[in-house]
Amino acid sequence: MIERSPLFNAITYLAMLIGLVLVLLPFWVVFIGATLSLPEVARVPLQMWPSDQLFQNISAAWIRADLGPKMINSLVVAVGVTVGKIVIAALSAFSIVFFNYRARMVFFWLIFITLMLPLEVRIVPTYAIAANALSPVQALLDVTGLTGLVQQLGGVQIALNWNLLNSYEGMILPLIATATGTFLYRQFFMTIPDELVEAAKMDGSRPMQFFVDVLVPLSRTNMLALATIMFVSTWNQYLWPLLVTTDREHFGTVVMQLKALVPAQNGTPDWNVTMAGALIIMLPPLLVVAVMQRWFVRGLITKDK
């Protein structure tokens, strides 16, 4: 602090307090709502202190939305995307930064451009490809006339089909196919001094040794940041899992179940159960962000700039 300004300090605290109330209000309402009984939650105005029904409401929500298996699905998908993204991003950034070959700038741009268009804007055709992931190959065969040729010669109709709907691969793979992590790793690898590479080469380390023994340990902070960002954003996915799983019972995620917990227009207004469900569904990513804050903030900032 530079000068004494008691008045402005008071204003600062006041502004931060108002901010705190505005930011926390939805969290507080969810928490309070989750602890109330049915008559209490229907009362107007809403009481602002907790009651004692938290565990009853949570177990009601747990059963109604079948949260046990759905939690497992959410976890599998979130961990799958996080791990897949880290591995793939680190490898491809390693290839782009530490090898000198002609196609590398083309590859870099091919990957980098994907940052521009979020999954949401190309949702219909992405769905079509998930319904048959081999359709590009099929189209290639059709266009080159190979399908017709094989049919004439061998009498077999080539119809390649790999359906990703209602599968973990279908939920995971399209979410890995973006450049976020690759870009983050590239930015970090660029800061590794040339001398380190020279020294490693001098000591006779082969490329993969250099990757495993030098780069992976050095980029641990990076990895934590990327892991936090990926885990949170995957856990919170809604539109994509909604489309790719028609079999909700077996492949639904917790976030998809939120809508099912909202009271029907003319049904019992048991918002207390809804809030209890929302509370446990938003807790895992919130905990991850709260614990990993220091690393994830750094990662978030280098990712986008």
Partner 1 sequence: MERRAYYRNKLLPWLLIAPQLLLVLVFFYWPTAQALYWAFTLEQPWGGGNAFVGFDNFTAIFSDSRYWGTVLRSAFYAVVATGLSMAMALTLALFVDRGLKGTKLFQSVFVWPYAIAAPAAGVAFRFMFSPQAGLIGTINQVWPGIWDPSTVGWQALLMVIVAHAWLGIGYNFVFFLAALQMIPRSVIEAGAMDGARPFRRMLDLQLPLIAPTTFFLLIMNLISSFTDSFGLIDTLTEGGPNDATVVMVYKIYFDGFKGLDYSGAAAQSIVLMLLVISLTFIQFKWVEKKIHYA
Site for partner 1 in 74-133 (CB under 8 A): 88-89, 91-92, 94-101, 104, 107, 110-111, 114, 116-118, 120-129, 133
Which of 39-47, 49-57, 65-73, 142-150 is the region at the interface with partner 1 (rule: CB under 8 A)?
A: 39-47
- 5 sits near partner 1 (criterion: CB under 8 A): yes
Q: How far is the CB of 4 from partner 1 (least distance, A)?
A: 11
Rounded to whole angstroms, the Cα distance separating 192 from 61 reads 50
| Choice from 223, 230, 244, 275 touching partner 1 (CB under 8 A) | 275
Considering only the stretches 17-25, 51-59, 145-153, 219-227, report the one whose residues sit in contact with partner 1 under the rule CB under 8 A: 17-25
The full 3-state SS of 6-69, as one line of letters, equals: HHHHHHHHHHHHHHHHHHHHHHHHHHHHHHCCHHHHHCCCCCCCCCCCHHHHHHHHHHHCCHHH
Which residues ranging from 223 to 242 are in contact with partner 1 (CB under 8 A)? 232, 235-236, 238-239
Among 183, 188, 210, 251, binds partner 1 (CB under 8 A): 210
Q: Which is nearer to partner 1, 6 or 155 (CB)?
A: 6
What distances in angstroms separate CA 52 from CA 17, 35, 61, 283, one per listed residue? 28, 6, 16, 19
CB of 40 or CB of 158, closer to partner 1 = 40
User: Coil, strand or helix: which one is 239?
Assistant: helix
Question: How many residues line the site for partner 1 (CB under 8 A)?
Answer: 109
Phi and psi angles of residue 172, each rounded to the nearest 5 degrees, phi first? -90, -50
Site of tokens 């207004």? 269
- The correct pick among 54, 76, 131, 197 for binding partner 1 (CB under 8 A) is 197
Tally the residues of the chain: 305
From residue 151 to residue 170, the character string flagging contacts with partner 1 as x (rule: CB under 8 A) and all else as - is --------------------
Classify residue 234 by burial, with Cβ atoms within 10 Å: 0-12, 13-18, 19+: buried
